[in-house]
Amino acid sequence: MIPRPLPFVGIDDFAFKKRFTYGTIFIDLQTHQPLDILNTRQPEGVTKWLKNYPAIKLITRDGSKTYAAAVKEASPAILQIADRWHLLHQLFEALKKTVFALLPATWTPPSPEQSTHPTEEVNLKLRKHERLRVQNEEKRWRRIQQVQSLYKEGYTKTEIHERLNISFGTVRNDLSKTEKPKLRRTSAFQRFRPLIRSLIQEKRASSYIEEICRSEGYKGSVSTLTNMISEERKQLKQGRPATVSIRQEVLRILWDTEKENHYDRFQKLHPNLLDTFPQIMKLDELVHSFRQLFKDKNVEHLLVWLKKEEQGNFSFIRTFVQGILQDLSAVKLSIEQPWSNGPTEGQVNRLKTIKRMMYGRAGFQVLRNRVLYRW
């Protein structure tokens, strides 16, 4: 038994062997020092340890349902505080999935020529793999339109899934689509497209373009570069603007804490971006308002935010909201209280370093002694 009272404790898990065996570490949140480690993260073992220390008043943890149940079983009077970093991380993952579902991997901005003559296209011969890709895009777009049409007629998602013999996840994804899908795979070398286009406009040969691209850091194959050159030449003949990759940059701007200049930065990214994807500014306001909750420490605003976003149009955000609602009391306390699970995470990193130093040469008891007694 640890002799002194332990009113404030942090708890987290760590891996002995990732995806197979895990342990649990307990931290004194006042001294930031480890209290004990267990060779399990099962609720029975955690509950037994907690019952040995009835003086515990408060515990910080991540979103683990296992630890939440174990703490409640040990003593319902113990306050549980969700870690703020994990909440923001979960929001970021939901935001990332939403952005990737909303924005295509590569976006070709609308041009005046296309909007004036939408049906006029230069008849260019496509390669075999390009023809197959276009056919698959058309096939998928017809299915998406059929799913959305049935949903508007009043069919439920389950009925659509059974009627069309497609998975429930496919139904959900199809309902979230707002434009024809593009099945073209993205490349790590998309950043060279503006350079390639500018050299094509200067009437440069492919060999010269390759030389310049390699001098700028291109390390891909000749065939990949040749395909990009061919595609850019076709787009120029069609009078289409350059294709751009915007997902990562949009995500970076959305997550930036300096909200005041977000609109200008989106406009600088491309003048037509917000007209084409107006949902981006809704996401921007959503993220800013959630992060502001922790600065204002206003629980009432949290409840308003949850009610609003629970009825929103972004499915991944709704899933995030459902997760918060399942752990609402701990999330409320994370806004009100100053406690964080950061010291626990720091000790987990220290434990991992010790574990790697003695990998294959010692067991759990030696690891426990080295973590607790610093030898």
Tens of pLDDT, residue by residue over 254-293, are: 999 876 789 988 988 888 899 999 999 999 999 999 999 9
Nearest to 80 by CA among 343, 349, 344, 341: 341
Edge-first strand order for the sheet with 21-28 is 33-38, 21-28, 8-17, 58-61, 79-82
Specify the pLDDT at position 367: 92
DSSP state string for 249-286? HHHHHHH-S-GGGHHHHHHHH-TTHHHH-THHHHHHHH
Least confident interval from 17-26, 61-70, 254-263: 254-263
What single-letter amino acid sits at 207? S
Specify the pLDDT at position 68: 94
Q: Are 115 and 121 in contact, with CB atoms under 8 Å apart? A: no
Instruction: Say if domain 8-83+340-373 classifies as CATH 3.40.50.720.
Output: no
Strand-pair partners of 12: 25
Q: What is the pLDDT of residues 324-362, one digit of tens each?
A: 999 999 999 999 999 999 999 999 999 999 998 887 777
Q: What angle do CA 311, 288, 332 make, to 5 degrees?
A: 70
More confident of the two residues 89 and 136: 89
Specify the pLDDT at position 1: 44
* Full-model pTM: 0.71
CA–CA gap between residue 161 and residue 209 (Å, rounded):
49
Distance separating the N- and C-terminal Cα atoms of the chain: 21
**What DSSP character marks residue 189?**
T
Q: Are 86 and 63 in contact, with CB atoms under 8 Å apart? A: yes
* Residue positions counted in the chain: 375
Burial 78-95 (b: 16+ CB within 10 A, else e): bbbbbbbebbeebbeebb
Specify the pLDDT at position 198: 87
CA–CA gap between residue 102 and residue 96 (Å, rounded):
10
**Residue located via tokens 């909007």:** 115
Kindly report, as residue ranges, where domains of CATH 3.30.420.10 are found in the chain: 8-83+340-373
